Structure 1
Amino acid sequence: MSAETITAGQADDIARSAETMPRSRREALDNVVIDDMDMLGIALLAGPANVIMQLAVPAVGYGVYESTVHSGNLFKNPTKRTRTTLTYLAVAAMGSPEVRKAYRQAVNKSHAYVRSSEASPVEYNAFDPKLQLWVAACLYRGWEDMQRIYGDPAKITEEAYQQGAVMGTTLQMPRDLWPATRADFEEYWQSTLAEVEIDDTIREHLMAIIQLDFTYKPIRLLGRWYSETMTIGFLPPEFQQKMRVSQTPAQRRFFAAHNAIARQLIKILPKPLREFPFNLLLADLDWRRRTGRPLV
């Protein structure tokens, strides 16, 4: 069944069938919380770089690029797409079990349409737990990078790593698929890097994100240099090479100075500001649930 032939009713059936994990097991996973949220807000700066990392695996890249869910397309609905993506991160990290279940079901209905067709260059399915593992791994690796740059590297512990699995288990990734230890994770990460391949189609799509082509022209003109500087700066060398990008000397100096200032600001900001906008997005999600509005 291709994405083009799925009806709304079939999408609901597919979404329900995705909830295959035993209830007791799912409830245990939904009760996991991430203790340290200090890096949540500042992590937005590295968001575009993390998207590149996720889409560098062809099945993920083409799943996003070819998606027929136009309401979730960054270039067609940038505000909605940004809201739903960031809300997922907030739900996974800070949401209650009830909220995680509600948001997972809403995301499932959209993901039911994200599957390859006969014309797709690679085979993909948004419910594929191995693809969800890669996305979760990128999000966790991004958190580690934020701690090294802005936070406290001593917080990168085995316990923090285990909590990172929630980025995948909030959807359909089985907990057992998450590498057992940080050492196992590193082995998985390096082996998957060998599969990373960014062809010209996906590279062009990602460059358009870096250059803010999805937003209004004034914002694009004013913010393009900053976006390129920050995104390339946060992008690990392996991905820079695949994207064929690098910072200029001026961008490297700005990136270093910017991060030095941000590190000092994080130390003095109150917790609500450190968690912004994720705390606001959770409040918005609560309002949407109470008023019967769509969650995604």
Structure 2
Amino acid sequence: MTAQASAFDKKNRLENQWPAPLSAKELDRTFPGILDSTVMLSAGANIIMQLALPAVGYGVAESRVKSGSVLHRPFKRTRTTFTYLAVAMMGTNEEKLAYRKAVNGAHRQVYSTDSSPVEYNAFDPELQMWVAACLYWGFVDTYQKVNRPLSHAEQEAFYRLSHPLGTTLQVRQDMWPKDLDGFEAYWQNGLKHLSIDERVREFLMIIADLKFLSPVSQFLFGRFNRFITTGFLPQELRDQMQLEWNDDKQRKFERFVRMAGRISRLFPRPIRQAAYLLPLWDFRRRLKKGKPLI
């Protein structure tokens, strides 16, 4: 363990004040479609939003953990991310603690060096708070674009269940804004601190254009992924990423995501939620057998 990681560990001993988790079935009954796999449509945009905070961007771009890199192990990276989302939202306290320990093992290797343009540490709760805020915002924003607007009461109810997206790791409970108004203030302030330089932009364009996949996959899906990723981004981040957008593309984007939502709703719930249920099943199998969790 590095001295930096140890310092963050000691500073951020967490009380486990997690809400009683809802099952996948209960979440779908309360917020129909909230865990549908259509959230994968916005995955690229969410990554860009997270990494647009410079310390997060360089932490990922310079990460020594190649086994968890989307560029080197894209499918493992996707599995790890959706496992975290599933455990944070639906896991028991014991499961959250187990996955925290596993993720911490990888995070101990992610910290800046003297040559890094910005200082970062994967154990920094402020950086984790921004990542968790992006994950929560992505759930709600994608749901409303693909399905329907959520009422204020529905948003409040989902928000109360969402703080484990951060507190499963090093985000303290008192750091998570108490209500939607507090979150909105945090979010708007966070957007002001986003900055994408050329190095991070090049890294993110590899993700937007699927250049980490095979040439055939790039050819078949690269242009579409850039289009859908751009559609889910706020305009200020489109500008920083130098991604073109106009009213015609916006109309095409809205038509596509609404169609995706209609098609998704035709499938049974377990199929709609496969992006979460399969990683959660695999996590529990690994945990029971004592296998590595990430």
TM-score (norm 1): 0.88
Task: Quote how far apart the aligned CAs of 1:222 are.
Answer: 0.5
Paired residue secondary structure (1:116): coil
36, 39, 47: which one pairs with 2:34?
A: 39
Is the contact between residue 116 and residue 124 of structure 1 (CA under 8 Å) also seen in structure 2?
Answer: yes
Alignment partner, residue 3 of structure 1? none
Task: Quote how far apart the aligned CAs of 1:157 are.
Answer: 2.4
Alignment deviations for residues 77-109 of structure 1 (CA, whole Å, 9 cap, x no partner): 222112111211111112222211111100000
Matched ranges for 1:103-182 at <5 A: 103-155=99-151, 156-182=154-180
Which one is further off, 33-42 or 139-148?
A: 33-42
Which one is further off, 159-168 or 116-125?
A: 159-168
Is the contact between residue 39 and residue 274 of structure 1 (CA under 8 Å) also seen in structure 2?
Answer: no
* Amino acid in structure 1 at the alignment position of 2:211: D
Is the contact between residue 86 and residue 280 of structure 2 (CA under 8 Å) also seen in structure 1?
Answer: yes
Gaps of 5+ in 1: 1-5
Alignment partner, residue 20 of structure 1? 13
Alignment partner, residue 18 of structure 2? 29
Identity %: 40
Alignment deviations for residues 165-196 of structure 1 (CA, whole Å, 9 cap, x no partner): 11101111011101122111111111111111
Task: Quote how far apart the aligned CAs of 1:263 are.
Answer: 2.4
Task: Quote how far apart the aligned CAs of 1:114 are.
Answer: 0.7
* Amino acid in structure 2 at the alignment position of 1:39: I
Residues 253 and 152 of structure 1, relative CA distance in 2, 3 Å threshold: closer
- Counterpart-to-counterpart distance in 2, 1:14 and 1:91: 26
**Root mean square deviation, CA, Å:** 2.3
Residues 198 and 11 of structure 1, relative CA distance in 2, 3 Å threshold: closer
Alignment deviations for residues 225-281 of structure 1 (CA, whole Å, 9 cap, x no partner): 110111001111121122111236764454232122122223332211221121011
Gaps of 5+ in 2: none
Alignment partner, residue 72 of structure 2? 76
Is the contact between residue 213 and residue 220 of structure 1 (CA under 8 Å) also seen in structure 2?
Answer: yes
TM-score (norm 2): 0.89
Is the contact between residue 21 and residue 90 of structure 2 (CA under 8 Å) also seen in structure 1?
Answer: no
- Counterpart-to-counterpart distance in 1, 2:126 and 2:8: 17
Alignment deviations for residues 179-230 of structure 1 (CA, whole Å, 9 cap, x no partner): 1221111111111111110000000000010000111111111111110111
